Structure 1
């Protein structure tokens, strides 16, 4: 899936990912390839981006996520 993580200052991540784990306001959740359309609010925490065997973590202070047509857009603080 195509993932983009954007803050007000810059783009933190742009590229392909196999898994995205996020801190939702009601608890953490994961997005995998071909996930159903979704819009959700995010809480403060870590975003885990997995591609193959590698993992990267990004700290956010909240935001929103949109999932549509295998594209994931995270607008983070």
Structure 2
């Protein structure tokens, strides 16, 4: 699935990933391929994406998330 992370200042990441773990307002949750469409708010915390056996972490400072047709779009306030 495609993950795109955008802040008002720049495009942080755009690429294919196997899974994403996100800091939701009501707790951490994971998005995998073929996830149902959804929109959620994000709190400050770790966004972890996995490509193969490699995990990368980006700290997001709040924002919103949209999942639709195997595309995960994160509109973050900022990344640390």
Give the TM-score of the pair, scaled to structure 1: 0.98
User: Please, what is the CA RMSD of the aligned residues?
Assistant: 0.5
1:68 aligns to what? 68
Secondary structure of 1:42 counterpart: strand
Q: Number of residue pairs matched?
A: 77
Stretches of structure 1 that go unaligned for 5 or more consecutive residues are none
Name segments (4+ residues, structure 1) moved above 4 Å: none
Q: Point out where structure 2 has 5 or more consecutive residues left out of the alignment.
A: none
TM-score computed with the length of structure 2 as normaliser: 0.94
Q: CA deviation at 1:27?
A: 0.3
Per-residue CA deviations over 1:43-71 (Å, capped at 9, x if unaligned) read 00010010100011001110000000011
